[in-house]
Structure formats: structure tokens, C-alpha cells
Amino acid sequence: MSRKQVFQFLELPREMPRRIPLELRTAGDWGELYGKFAHAEAAYQSGRCLDCGNPYCSWKCPVHNAIPQWLQLVQENRILEAAELCHSTNPLPEVCGRVCPQDRLCEGSCTLNDGFGAVTIGAVEKYIVDTAFERGWRPDLSEVQPTGKRVAVVGAGPAGIACADRLARAGIHAVVYDRYEQIGGLLQFGIPSFKLDKSVIARRRAVLEGMGIEFRLGVEVGRDVTLEQLLEEFDAVFLGTGAYRYTDGGLPGQEAEGVLPALPFLVQNGRIVSGIAQDGTAAMGRPIAGWEDRIKLPDLAGRRVVVLGGGDTGMDCVRSAIRLGAARVTCAYRRDEASMPGSAREVANAREEGVRFLFNRQPLAIESDADGRVTGVRMVETRLGEPDARGRRVAVPVEGSESVIDTDVVIIAFGFSPELPAWASALGIEGTPNGRIVTGGDGRLPYQTTHPRVFAGGDAVRGADLVVTAVAEGRDAAQSIAELLGAQPPVRTPQYAEAVA
């Protein structure tokens, strides 16, 4: 390796792809914020990698991507091979390249992150897969031998999709059930389009169907089909049912008109941006099942909006409210900025777009007028006390510091948790007191539930977490299912991964 290659990080600064101008972001534009690298830009940024021997970026990544190896392949313009290598560890690399909090994962662990700026790993990952698809790359299953085995996957979110992908690579026919009318789960409806354009999900669906995976959408397990029926028809079942149970903050007055839970707000807005009308019909006029469980969005144009919560869901809410024309958007979080669980990059984007942040503020109650419409949030200032059982410092209210933030709309983003379905517990599948499905242990395979032919992974098992952790668990659960059914391992790392290491 030449001196120029070794010290390229000194000559080339860290750069991200070009972004949509600020004036367009705040005027209702839902396009992806970040553009795509040209090859020269991707190669330059890839060349900044030190290939440091002990790749902290790979270890920090939940799916343990072979990051230094595919960065080198990009430099050599071996994009199709890079895409193959990306998929060897990650069934959804183009999604993770867009929505992962790289600043907390791979890029945050990059050796160059302190002082020089981390390699732009996420943007390069996005470039690799998008470019490979444009050049006609598709997964090569020509050597896969069909086993005759069939598996039902419940949930078409990231865990379910990842599991189905790996099952197909093991020669197992996967049939994916989902109550929504499109695949992706929260990738489709919960994550706004300015972070993940929905054409990405549509393309991935076409790829998965090309692999032989079957989708049965608008079908709800427990209502339209029973788990018993699935176990009769299939050799095994995977549950990737996610975490949709609203975390109720128990705030006095939260029943007031204008108080919205975050996830239904994002789901409804995602449907509308995708061309689904407020009355619950798709663009072609077909009614959507289960619409009665959804909320009707208020018009945010010119309104004052307060979002309670500082995670990535909260950032999605504040940035969506900006694009919906809100006059003032405030994010209130009970700890300091350094303690926020969301991506620092998302916080920076929100602040740039005009979101006001109030740190060390804890909500006490929602205030409303005589007609029951929200008028404000009563808050108290906090200071950070001793760490709790999870190691996070407790927010301690400061006596005499109460105040009221005037607002027209409140969005509560305190998080979401899983809930063990009644139809699962009825068949002896055990859950924890907080609704998580119990897997592994007591001689069971990884991700195997207390029913021997039912497996589970993702948020339904670990609680609300990152897309990439759900992908990792769906991928690894497929490995256990393949072992149970006597199939070969779902995927092997390509031989050229070692050649470029």
C-alpha cells in the first residue's frame, strides 16, 4: 500500500452526500434528505479507511458487516462483488445504510472518528447496493437446493424480511403474512420518507419475490388465519410481530383533543404520503382493513407542536411536523442532550430545520380549555441524579421550577413495547411480564420459543430497538430454523472476502 493510500484520510476530509436544501425541506418536500455518492466520491471516502487490523466498525455493527473489505472493493470498482459481500451479512443493506444511527454504531467506532472524521460507512453502503441494483445485480440462488420445507413468517418488518431472505437461501420456501397492505412494517409506514424513500421498499419486495418468497398481505394472524392453521400447513413458524404497544406516560389530561401517540401519527402520515387518503382508502379507492384502529391527523399548518421524548421516533415526529407546516415545533426531553437515545445526526438535522429543543424538562400534565382542546404542557425542570438499574442517570425534578409551554398539538413519543399475542400464549408460547416473547435457553435453539416449531426475533423478543438489530435477529433465527429442519446453513461469506482482507 502506498503512502498516499495509507494517509488518504489526511488529504481527504470526511464528506456526506449532498443534501436537499433547507428551504425545500421545510416546504413539504418528503424526498430523502441525503443524495447518493457518485463513484469517485464513494471511492475517495472508502479510501480513507485505515484497514486498521482490528475493525472496530465491524464489531460494533449488530450484523458484523465486513466493512473494510467492501470499502476496498468499492475502491477497485468491484461493485457487484461488494453488494454480494454486503448481503452475506445483511439481508437489508440499502435500508441500514439509510436509517442506522451510524454515529452510534460503525462510524462511532471508526478509528478516525476522534480527530479526523469517521469514514462515511453508511453512505457508501447505500451507494454499493443502489448502484448494484441499477447494474442488474440480484441474489444468485442458482446453487440452492430446494428442501421441500415450508415456513410461515408472521410480520413483514425487518426481522421477518431478514428471516425470509435467509430461509430462501437455505432452500426453504417462506410465506410472509402481514396485516398491512404493503411489506416493511415500520420501514414502510413508521419511518418518514425523508429518511427512507418507499421506492426502496418496493424494490426490495420485487427482489424478495424474485427469490421465491411469497407475501400474503392484509392478512392478520389471529383474525384471518390461526396459528394452529399455520402449524398444520408449515414445518415451522417465525414470529416477527414487532413492538406496537404504546407506552402510556400516564399524564393527567392526555385524553384532551390534540394529544397524539407518536406511532399512529407517523403511520397515518406515512399512509397519506404514500397516497392513502385520510378516510382510509388507498389511491384506487379500496378500503384498508383495520382503519378504524387508526387516528385522524389534525392539520398542523400554522400550529404549535410539542413532542415529548428524545429518541429517534421523537426526531421523526418533529421533522415530520416541520414538513406539515407547523409554525413552531418543540422537542422536550427530561435529561440533557448528551443523554438523548436518538441519533446525534438526526438531532442536528432537526435543529437545522428549526426545531426548538428543551432539555432537562419533564412533563407533569396536559392542560386544555373548556372545550377539551389542548392548550399547553405543564413542565418541571430537572437535574441528573444517580444512575438507575440500567446505568442511566435519573432525572430529578427541581422544586419550584414549573412552567407551561403553550401548544396546539402534543405528540407523545415515550416509546413502544411488544405484547405477547393471545393466540400465541394459547399454544403455550411463553412471554415475559413486559410482553416479550421468551426464546432460547433450557436446551432450546437460539430464537426458539417454548413451542418447538415456533421461533421469534426482533422487537417482539428484545423490545423496541434498532432496525439493524431486528435484521440481525431475523437472520440468525433463520439459521436455527434451518438447523431444526435439517437444511444447509442459509448463506456463506463469499470467498473473495478473504482475498481482499
The 10s digit of each residue's pLDDT in 1-42 is: 343 456 676 678 899 999 999 888 887 889 999 999 999 999
What confidence tier does 276 reach under pLDDT thresholds 50, 70, 90?
low
Assess whether 259 and 359 both reside in one domain.
yes
374-387 vs 393-397, strand pairing mode: antiparallel
374-387 vs 361-368, strand pairing mode: antiparallel
Last residue of a domain, one of 137, 172, 193: 137
Q: Is 441 left (phi over 0), alpha (psi -120 to 50) or beta?
A: left
Assess whether 125 and 58 both reside in one domain.
yes
Please determine, for residue 305, whether its predicted confidence score (pLDDT) is greater than 80: yes
Assess whether 232 and 294 both reside in one domain.
no
Instruction: Give me the pLDDT at residue 189, please.
Output: 86
Domain count, the chain: 3
**Any long-range contacts for 1-10 (C-beta under 8 Å, 24+ apart)?**
5/47, 6/50, 8/44, 8/47, 8/48, 9/48, 9/50, 9/112, 9/116, 10/116
Spatial distance between the Cα atoms of 173 and 165, rounded to a whole number of angstroms: 10
Instruction: Express each pLDDT in 89-131 by its tens digit.
Output: 999 999 999 999 999 999 999 999 988 999 999 999 999 999 9
Sheet holding 454-456, edge to edge: 214-217, 173-178, 150-154, 236-239, 454-456
Assess whether 45 and 177 both reside in one domain.
no
Assess whether 260 and 409 both reside in one domain.
yes
Please determine, for residue 278, whether its predicted confidence score (pLDDT) is greater than 80: no
Spatial distance between the Cα atoms of 105 and 122, rounded to a whole number of angstroms: 10
Please determine, for residue 405, whether its predicted confidence score (pLDDT) is greater than 80: yes
Instruction: Give me the pLDDT at residue 322, please.
Output: 95
C-alpha cell at 459: 422487537
What pTM was computed for the model?
0.92
Instruction: Give me the pLDDT at residue 246, please.
Output: 81
Last residue of a domain, one of 137, 163, 180: 137
- Other residues' Cβ atoms within 10 Å of the Cβ of residue 418: 25
Assess whether 269 and 328 both reside in one domain.
yes
Query: Which CATH number does the domain housing residue 85 bear?
Result: 1.10.1060.10
107 within a domain of the structure (yes/no): yes
Assess whether 227 and 354 both reside in one domain.
no
Q: Is 405 left (phi over 0), alpha (psi -120 to 50) or beta?
A: beta
Domain that holds residue 319: 247-416
Instruction: Give me the pLDDT at residue 491, please.
Output: 67
Instruction: Give me the pLDDT at residue 271, please.
Output: 83
Last residue of a domain, one of 370, 394, 416: 416
Tell me the C-alpha to C-alpha distance, in Å, between residue 26 and each of 328, 349, 352. 12, 11, 10
* Contact call for residues 345 and 101 (beta carbons, < 8 A): yes
Assess whether 412 and 428 both reside in one domain.
no
What confidence tier does 492 reach under pLDDT thresholds 50, 70, 90?
low
* Contact call for residues 151 and 48 (beta carbons, < 8 A): no
What confidence tier does 284 reach under pLDDT thresholds 50, 70, 90?
very low
489 within a domain of the structure (yes/no): no
496 within a domain of the structure (yes/no): no
Query: Which CATH number does the domain housing residue 435 bear?
Result: 3.50.50.60
Q: HEC string of 44-61?
A: HHHHCCCCCCCCHHHHHC
DSSP state of 102: G
* CA-based end-to-end distance of the chain: 13
Please determine, for residue 332, whether its predicted confidence score (pLDDT) is greater than 50: yes
For residues 407-435, average pLDDT: 95
DSSP state of 143: T
Spatial distance between the Cα atoms of 416 and 262, rounded to a whole number of angstroms: 9
Cell 411463553 locates to: 430
- Kind plus residue range of the DSSP H or E element containing 376: strand 374-387
Please determine, for residue 500, whether its predicted confidence score (pLDDT) is greater than 60: no
Assess whether 78 and 197 both reside in one domain.
no
497 within a domain of the structure (yes/no): no
Assess whether 36 and 167 both reside in one domain.
no
Query: Residue 2: what residue type?
Result: S
Task: Render 31-43 in DSSP notation, one character per residue.
Answer: S-SB----HHHHH
Buried b or exposed e, range 257-279, using 16+ CB within 10 angstroms: ebbbbbbbbbbbbbbebbebeee
R_g of the chain, CA atoms, integer Å: 23
Instruction: Give me the pLDDT at residue 490, please.
Output: 75
For residues 338-344, average pLDDT: 88
392 within a domain of the structure (yes/no): yes
Spatial distance between the Cα atoms of 176 and 161, rounded to a whole number of angstroms: 8
495 within a domain of the structure (yes/no): no
490 within a domain of the structure (yes/no): no
140 exposed, middle or buried (CB, 10 Å; 0-12, 13-18, 19+)?
A: exposed
- In sequence order, what are the residues at sequence separation of 6 or more whose Cβ sits closer than 8 angstroms to the Cβ of residue 247? 414, 415, 416, 417
Instruction: Express each pLDDT in 226-268 by its tens digit.
Output: 999 999 999 999 999 999 888 888 999 999 999 999 988 998 8
366 within a domain of the structure (yes/no): yes
Query: Among 104-108, 132-136, 268-272, which stretch is predicted with the lowest mean pLDDT?
Result: 268-272
Instruction: Express each pLDDT in 153-182 by its tens digit.
Output: 999 999 999 999 999 999 999 999 999 889
Please determine, for residue 279, whether its predicted confidence score (pLDDT) is greater than 60: no
DSSP state of 339: G
Instruction: Express each pLDDT in 369-404 by its tens digit.
Output: 999 999 999 999 999 999 888 788 999 999 999 999
DSSP state of 133: H
Taking alpha carbons only, the member of 493, 403, 495 closest to residue 89 is 493
Assess whether 412 and 424 both reside in one domain.
no
Helix/strand/coil for 221 = strand
Instruction: Express each pLDDT in 444-478 by its tens digit.
Output: 999 999 999 999 999 999 999 999 999 999 999 99
Assess whether 388 and 425 both reside in one domain.
no
The partner residues of 211 in beta bridges, in order of sequence, read none
Instruction: Give me the pLDDT at residue 153, please.
Output: 98
The four Cα atoms 461, 467, 472, 474 give a dihedral, to 10 degrees, of 60
Instruction: Express each pLDDT in 200-232 by its tens digit.
Output: 999 999 999 999 999 999 999 999 999 999 999
Instruction: Express each pLDDT in 310-326 by its tens digit.
Output: 999 999 999 999 999 99
C-alpha cell at 364: 407533569
